[in-house]
Amino acid sequence: MSSEEHVSADQFHLQYPVGYANSREIIRALEKGASLADELLLEEYTLKDVDPKTLELHLDSCISAKVDKIHKEKVEVTLDYNTILSKDLDASEMKAIQAITETSCLQHLLVHPLISSFIYIKWRKMEWFFYGNLGLISVLWITLASCTTLLDNARGLFYPFFVLLIISYILVIIRECFQIAILKGKYFQKLSNWFEVFMLALCFCPIFLPNVAGYKQLSALSLLVVVLELAMVVKGHPKSSSYIVMLRTVTITFFHFFLSYSVLLIAFGLSFYKLFYERTWKDTETDDSPGFFHGVGITFFNMIVMLTGELNASSFKFETFIHGVLFIAFVLVVPIILLNLLCGLAVYDVDMIRENAEIIGYKEVVKYIVFTEKYIAAIAGLRPRWNFLRKKIFLQPNDLSSRTLLVLPYQPDEKTRLLGRRTLGRIKRFLFLNENKRIIQHLEIINENRIEIRKLLEKVKALSKGSE
């Protein structure tokens, strides 16, 4: 029984073909108007059963071009987004792409011209929210740094920055309150949200309690935490997302490595403490300054400093053979072997990220777009007068009324600039490869025809010889 007998042409769904993993039926379903986004809303199935090559072929067919070999500027490319857009205008426009992002075997399709172009124009549609959030955190950090610096040095300049600091701080609190109201219990399930709550609590003391004990320490720590929050915001930009992922991956690798060999470092620290406890690194007999290993806490602190190569070997008193052996063993194992191994792991991580930099970047951007879309749509639904916010983030029905986009890749216009250079370059490369495929197909057809003609000629010769 064919799939057409189960569903009408107007509501052609993918349950039947995906269930039977039939690539031909999947293509036919998509060509008849089935949308991956619609299916994800109707039934929570994953795309892991869809053959990646089959889906890629269909995405290729969604890009049509009107090529003018003489006048390049007249080349027209039409991008058809019916496959990835839901027919429900109130549904998320990123549902299908989000599913592709979460399916490992399909993640390479994120760099396909059809999907990457949609991601980019979607991000451009809501970039106002990104830059507003980036500006808010930047103002918070600049004003916090200015107030902590000017409090003791220039009281006259302190008050304007302090007013801006309070305004930005309150706006960040309002932003978090909106997230709590929208996400409710899910808000506290994300580690990044806990980090933002910690940032607000930490910044409270330097702003409103300047006379509290430990003001300088709290100010220094709050400045660092706000910068980390700024880096988390910057991760949502297409051009910087992969670099932030590099920093995060290398940092996680370092801590995993450090924890794996922490027992060895603790053993060296306790050994140094027992052997060099008395008067290491004192200038004179009457020097009252604490020694280099005077106490367990200062021992491990100095051990971390020694990891960087600051060994201060001339300050050690090697009274016995064991003192020298222990120190040499530390130099060989920790600064030379372990640190070089850590550098190798870091370089490996960076190389892996560079190989998949575009895919990783698009994954981070998709996460940011999905969260922002959900966040703004929920705010717009709180009050009828706020419904205008939906037009600020959704491409349908205003920007993509026909669910297609006409692009002139070789002629600069508003739509061309909207896609960006990288996406346009990918479209041009796609056109070039398609043209080469057509040429190869024509050559194969010509070659097959030549073979058929040769066979016919041989048969004619054989017949003519037989008749003689």
Average pLDDT over the chain, rounded to an integer: 78
Integer angstrom CA distances of residue 353 from 241, 336, 341, 362, 364:
11, 26, 19, 12, 13
Where residue 413 falls among pLDDT bands split at 50, 70, 90?
A: low
Say which amino acid occupies 168.
S
Name the more confident of 352 and 153.
352
Q: Can you state the percent helix, strand and coil of the chain, rounding each to 5? A: 75, 5, 25
Q: Is residue 453 predicted with pLDDT exceeding 90?
A: no
Say which amino acid occupies 221.
L
Q: Is residue 420 predicted with pLDDT exceeding 80?
A: no
- Residue range 454-465: mean pLDDT, rounded: 73
What kind of architecture, by CATH, is found in domain 128-234? Up-down Bundle (1.20)
Q: Token match 């479209």: residue?
A: 427
Distance CA 414, CA 399 (A): 12
3-state secondary structure at position 112: coil
Distance CA 291, CA 279 (A): 6
Which pLDDT value is given to residue 111?
84
Distance CA 74, CA 251 (A): 49
Phi then psi dihedrals of residue 63, to 5 deg? -110, 115
Domains of the chain, residue spans: 35-125+359-440, 128-234, 249-355
One DSSP character per residue, 293-313 reads TSSHHHHHHHHHHHTTT---G
**pTM (predicted TM-score):** 0.73
Which pLDDT value is given to residue 69?
58
Per residue in 335-391, pLDDT (tens digit) is 888 888 888 888 888 887 777 878 888 888 899 999 888 888 888 887 878 888 888
Which pLDDT value is given to residue 280?
44
Label residues 350-377 b or e (16+ Cβ within 10 Å = b).
Answer: beebeebbbbbbbbbbbbbbbebbebbb
DSSP state of 106: G
The answer to whether 59 and 36 have CB atoms below 8 angstroms apart is no
Q: Is residue 194 predicted with pLDDT exceeding 80?
A: yes
Cis peptide before 335 (omega within 30 of 0): no
Where residue 133 falls among pLDDT bands split at 50, 70, 90?
A: very high
Q: Tell me the H-state helices in 209-240.
A: 215-234
Where residue 143 falls among pLDDT bands split at 50, 70, 90?
A: very high
Distance CA 364, CA 240 (A): 10
Distance CA 3, CA 34 (A): 12
Direct distance between the N- and C-terminal alpha carbons of the chain, in angstroms, rounded to an integer? 58
Name the more confident of 272 and 198.
198
Q: Is residue 146 predicted with pLDDT exceeding 90?
A: no
Parallel, antiparallel, or unpaired: how do β-strands 63-66 and 76-80 relate?
antiparallel
Where residue 60 falls among pLDDT bands split at 50, 70, 90?
A: confident
Which pLDDT value is given to residue 83?
85
Phi then psi dihedrals of residue 445, to 5 deg? -65, -45
Q: What angle do CA 250, 253, 256 make, to 5 degrees?
A: 155
Name the more confident of 288 and 29.
29
Q: Is residue 22 predicted with pLDDT exceeding 70?
A: no
DSSP state of 5: G
CA dihedral 380, 100, 130, 246 (to 10 degrees): 150
The answer to whether 92 and 370 have CB atoms below 8 angstroms apart is yes
